[in-house]
Amino acid sequence: MRYRPGQPVRVRDAPSVGHVRTPSYVKGKAGRVERVHGVFGNPESLAYGGDGLPEQPLYLVRFEQRELWSGYAGSSDDRIYVDIYQHWLDPAQAEVG
């Protein structure tokens, strides 16, 4: 596993075609790893009948709502949690909430 709970990460802002499990609204955004779920077959390969290899670690990543949505009017404590596979993540700066 490349990341551990508490570590800041940034979701790759890579173009995607077809089936991906990473929502576009978190691409390019920074969050913090909350939990490591384990290692699973790559869903982007499995969706097209592939073997799911190489397997990918899956992380629960926490994002601050105000960082995702321009003009977010909710509480500064509002967060969203998204499951993201390791191949979509890069290290981020420590100032992530």
State residue 89's pLDDT score. 97
Q: Extract the tokens encoding 73.
A: 């009017």
CATH class of 8-91: mainly beta
**Section 24-37 average pLDDT:** 96
What is the reported pTM? 0.89
**Section 19-28 average pLDDT:** 89
Domain spans in the chain, listed from the N-terminal domain onward? 8-91
Which has more pLDDT, 87 or 93? 87
For 61, counting Cβ atoms within 10 Å of its Cβ (0-12 exposed, 13-18 middle, 19+ buried), the class is: buried
- Given a cut of 80, whether residue 16 has pLDDT beyond it is no
Q: What is the 3-state secondary structure (H, E, C) of 18-33?
A: CCCCCCHHHCCCEEEE
State residue 96's pLDDT score. 56
Per-residue pLDDT band at 3 (split at 50, 70, 90): very high
Per-residue pLDDT band at 97 (split at 50, 70, 90): low
To the nearest whole number, what is the mean pLDDT of the chain?
Answer: 92
